[in-house]
Amino acid sequence: PSASGKGVTSRRLAQMLGLLTVDTGAMYRTLAWHCLRMKVDVNDDKKVAALCRKWKTSLVVADGHVRLLVDGYYPATEIRTSEASAAVAHVAQIRAVRDWMKAKQRECIQFGSLVMEGRDIGSNIFPETDYKFFLDASPEVRKFRRERDGVKEDVHARDKRDSQRAHSPLMPSLGAMIIDNSHQVVQETCDIMLEELNVRRKANRLAPLKPVA
């Protein structure tokens, strides 16, 4: 869910292991921002789907992250505005958009091993992986984190929309380790994740991963 720490935790874990990260929320936000600037109503599923079919995108690696560019541009700050945040849950519930994102997100493996972060990665994008985690925190802690970050947004409303949508709703996927990090610092969560990763790798007869940073 929102403010569960998934972004900061996945970035730290990837840094520890020398892997790339993929922030899939940023991909949905980029489409929401593109709709806003192209004056496409985000509540009009057909128009959003049509825009998504024809926008000019590319995947690139920059600073350890896989990024989705639109017209060669990564809208880093624009996708974090309150307008983009309000628009994103609408575009994210459209079936055609989710299908497009799924194909794009699966293409990311062309860059090698990844820490991919998002609400449906274990359940829908890479259901075949054994290495899944579902991060959560109490509603009070999540509200506190959002306010501390200066974000004024009805996070509860967005989580509700994300959880109740018909296509790939937010939920822990089968086989995911569920971690409540309400009272953990990021490094503690990453250490728990690395330990679990290595338990699962051992079960798959793979060598343990060692931190590089």
Between residue 119 and residue 138, which ones bind ligand DC under the rule CB under 6 A? 119-120
- Using rule CB under 6 A, residue 24 touches ligand DC: yes
- Using rule CB under 6 A, residue 4 touches ligand DC: no
CB burial of 100-109 (b: ≥16 within 10 Å; e: otherwise) equals: bbbebbeebe
* 5, 75, 118, 122: residue in contact with ligand DC (rule CB under 6 A): 118
- Using rule CB under 6 A, residue 25 touches ligand DC: yes
- Using rule CB under 6 A, residue 162 touches ligand DC: yes
- Paired tokens of 24: 């899939």
Q: Residues 6 or more apart from 133 whose CB is under 8 A from it?
A: 122, 176, 177, 178, 179, 193, 196
Q: CA-to-CA distance for 109 and 150, rounded, in angstroms? A: 34
* Cβ-based nearer residue to ligand DC, 11 or 119: 119
Cβ atoms of 34 and 42 closer than 8 Å: no
DSSP state of 124: I
Between residue 52 and residue 91, which ones bind ligand DC under the rule CB under 6 A? 88-89
Pick the closest to residue 22 from 73, 74, 61, 78 (CA basis): 61
Between residue 87 and residue 106, which ones bind ligand DC under the rule CB under 6 A? 88-89, 92
Pairing state between β 114-117 and 20-23: parallel
* Cβ-based nearer residue to ligand DC, 162 or 179: 162
Q: How far is the CB of 80 from ligand DC (least distance, A)?
A: 8
- Using rule CB under 6 A, residue 158 touches ligand DC: yes
Only one of the segments 14-22, 37-45, 68-76, 115-123 lies at the binding site for ligand DC (rule: CB under 6 A); that segment is 115-123
Which chain residues interact with ligand DC by CB under 6 A? 2, 24-25, 28-29, 88-89, 92, 118-120, 158, 162
